[in-house]
Chain A
């Protein structure tokens, strides 16, 4: 149980604190799709020819957590990250808990408390 708690704390610290130190440069995929275009300050292609010009506005751009912020406010990346970690844990953990094999009574050497 202590291990699981520790693992969760590490994930929360990474998403909630270390995320502020993340590089803001485009990742490898975005760097490729933007190759050939001139970009404006917000990273939108404004001239030339590139793959990213075919990209549409995101369907969930109006989400309150869009762009890893809370309501679009600057400096809220860590909060959005913590929410993301918890939502992922609940959804994934819940799914996996529901899918798991129920242990029969005689073969449980170490139960999770």
Chain B
């Protein structure tokens, strides 16, 4: 078996953008996560808290699975849309952030000073934009499981591409080494392809959960909370 020399680095390393840019996006990440922690409480109960822990563990696992997109180039799941659809955007952003934190601390993947940029791109931008797409298409998702699977694919694809645009923004502010137009073209081009893989994985996962435990799919559950939670006494 080939040694996995390049599996090692999947996220931005230290020094890819300059120190001021790292500090700015470190602050963005801290503020964003503070809001998420404050709002996550409302989405967590005895049933959804274990699910959220499992979703984070699942994202860690799937992020290890690089799939080829072009000769010599691979991609892997980012997971923001997947998390948001299953456990909500606030809890979902925390799930992705915990994965990124552990990868940086334990697995030497993603620089410590780059945690702010990596969290901003994958945990905040990807998760919330992906969730926004899913909410915009919620009518389709509520129609049938097939509709939900399609919505999951589209939300995940957009999540991947906008997360890559986050990198382009950070590079524009504090990076050097390659023309900005080239960075933009390559990042969006590669991630439009990676997004297809992200979309397939997200669609399969959300579809599987919806088949077995539709009550654990946040996107479709939160649209009709009174039906699922208080079905005993109150008919709606």
Contacts A22-B74, A77-B4, A96-B50 known; list 6 others, CB within 8 Å: A3-B212, A43-B5, A60-B106, A81-B61, A81-B64, A99-B40
A32 to B69, CA, bound (A): 14
Interface residues of B in 48-62 (CB under 8 A from A): 48-54, 56-62
Please name the residue on chain B nearest to A110 by beta carbon.
B47
Given contacts A28-B187, A112-B46, contact A68 B102 (CB under 8 A): no
Interface residues of B in 192-236 (CB under 8 A from A): 193-194, 212-213, 216, 229, 231-232
Q: How large is the interface on A (under 10, 10 to 19, 20 to 34, 35 or more residues)?
A: 35 or more
Contacts of A92 in B (CB 8 A): 52-53, 56-57, 94-95, 98
A87 to B229, CA, bound (A): 31
Contacts of B52 in A (CB 8 A): 92-93, 96
Whether a CB of chain A sits under 8 angstroms from the CB of B99 is: yes
Instruction: Tell me how many residues of B have a C-beta within 8 Å of chain A.
Output: 85
Cross-interface CB contact of B109 among A10, A54, A68, cutoff 8 Å: A68
1/0 contact string of A39-62 vs chain B (CB within 8 Å): 001110000011111111011110
Contact A22 B4 (CB under 8 A): yes
Cross-interface CB contact of A26 among B74, B95, B176, cutoff 8 Å: B74
Cross-interface CB contact of B46 among A36, A80, A100, cutoff 8 Å: A100
1/0 contact string of B1-40 vs chain A (CB within 8 Å): 1111111111111111000000000000000000001001
Residues of A within 8 A of B (CB): 3-4, 7-8, 10-12, 14-15, 18-33, 35-36, 41-43, 49-56, 58-61, 63, 65-68, 74-75, 77, 80-81, 84-97, 99-101, 103, 108-112
Whether a CB of chain A sits under 8 angstroms from the CB of B181 is: no
Contact A42 B5 (CB under 8 A): yes
A11 to B60, CA, bound (A): 8
Contacts of A108 in B (CB 8 A): 46
Contacts of B51 in A (CB 8 A): 4, 7
Contact B53 A96 (CB under 8 A): yes
Contact A31 B73 (CB under 8 A): yes
Contacts of A50 in B (CB 8 A): 177-178
Contact A26 B94 (CB under 8 A): no
Given contacts A29-B187, A92-B52, A99-B44, contact A68 B7 (CB under 8 A): yes
Cross-interface CB contact of A63 among B47, B53, B108, cutoff 8 Å: B108
A54 to B212, CA, bound (A): 47
Whether a CB of chain A sits under 8 angstroms from the CB of B131 is: no
Contact A58 B57 (CB under 8 A): no
A51 to B213, CA, bound (A): 45
Q: What's the nearest-Cβ distance from chain A to residue B230, in Å?
A: 8
Contact B73 A88 (CB under 8 A): no
Contact B177 A53 (CB under 8 A): yes
